[in-house]
Amino acid sequence: MRNWKLFTLTTLITVLLSIPNSALAQVSINIGPEPACPYGYYDFTPYNCAPYGYYGPEWFNGSAFVGAGPWFHGPNEFRGNVDNRFDPHHGYHGPVPERGAKPFNHFHANEMRDGRGHASAGHR
């Protein structure tokens, strides 16, 4: 009986040592309030501030931004106008607003977004 235990233990150790090392996953979770941005955030990661004129008025409730990025909690059927000329995916490399910047009312929509990464041409 003792020999079987020794054999089993030796086999188990050999099997465990022969398993190749896996690559380590890098996961980061940040919990806390969203950063202050007068125009909200792009609806795709890394959720940087959107530049002046990116979002249309339906993304706001009064003067408060109602969503994009991980903080968006609007209805599933929500669609909002954006000006994708200010989108980095479309080649924009210009400035983004600083914290506490005043809103700028110069908007021309050319795309509809749902705040969850889906886009369609035109505006309603």
**DSSP helix/strand/coil, 71:** helix
* pLDDT at residue number 106: 73
Say if residue 41's pLDDT is above 80: yes
**DSSP helix/strand/coil, 42:** coil
Note the residue count of the chain: 124
* pLDDT at residue number 96: 81
Q: How confident is the model at residue 104 (pLDDT cuts 50, 70, 90)?
A: low
38 vs 112, higher pLDDT: 112
* pLDDT at residue number 68: 79
Q: How confident is the model at residue 105 (pLDDT cuts 50, 70, 90)?
A: low
Q: Using CA atoms, how far apart are residues 20 and 4, in angstroms rounded to an integer?
A: 27
**pTM of the full structure:** 0.59
Give CA separation, 105 vs 8, 12, 26, 62, 118, in Å. 74, 69, 40, 14, 24
77 vs 22, higher pLDDT: 77
